[in-house]
Amino acid sequence: MIIANWKANGTLTSNLAWCNELNKLLSNSDFSDIGIAPSHIHFTQIQKMFEDSSLEVGLQDIDFNGGAKTGSISASMASDAGCKFSLLGHSERRQLFNEDDDLIKTKLQAAISNGIKPILCIGESKECLKSGKTRDFLKKQLINVLSGIELIDHAVIAYEPIWAIGTGNTPAPKDINSIHEFIKDVVQSSSANNIEPKVLYGGSVSHENAESFFGEKSIDGALVGGASLKANPFADIVKIYRKVKRK
């Protein structure tokens, strides 16, 4: 699956142009491989643009409950609006909003309870990478959030090394594949029902490097940030994914 994470970008006008362009670029094609996570305020607009397709529209974050929480979007509200998936634990949420593993676990439980596919984001810092502790760090993140949780069959992990997001620096595809294999093993052993998840890669994914990533067996797709803000490069990434993975 290829998921566009638009972050805090987009306007009604630019979103309309983006969606129309994507429809042209992927004409006569199904949209089953594609997810879009627009801002909360643009969710309904994007949903309506693709209401007759298999494209999934989700959110960049949800809260675990509603009530007296100004500015929050609860999992039940998101589900009621037709949200198909939600990113959870993105590094920017962890860094800018001080989200910790306990809160992310509560959000993940709420997503599952409300029929929303969780996309759990994990990733290490440059300091962690340099110290050789990447696997220990990722394992701790996964166990802290997933221990005792019964995952749904289509649960997804997004591996986004913090040092690669928006920098143009990426690990070698074979190294990402090895990390993804490790993530699948940890999730299968730590979740209550031993689910092996799909694992997406995120971190400076572009149409120039996508084929090298998707050629690896355990890279199941991508979470795309900057390259998803324009329809043309995003469509190219989708086409590359389909060419490689649908052989």
Q: Which of 56, 92, 160, 216 is catalytic?
A: 160
User: Is the alpha carbon torsion for 175, 181, 114, 96 positive or negative?
Assistant: negative
Residue 150 is a catalytic residue: no
Order of strands across the sheet with 56-57?
56-57, 34-37, 2-5, 222-224, 198-202, 156-159, 117-122, 85-88
- Per the DSSP assignment, residues forming a β-bridge with 88 are 120
Catalytic position from the list 40, 42, 90, 180: 90
Give me the residue label for tokens 């810092």: 125
CA distance 164 to 162: 5
What tokens appear for 135 in the block? Answer: 């696997």
Task: Name residue 37's beta-bridge partners.
Answer: 5
**Residue 127 annotated in active site:** no
- Please give the positions annotated as active site: 90, 160
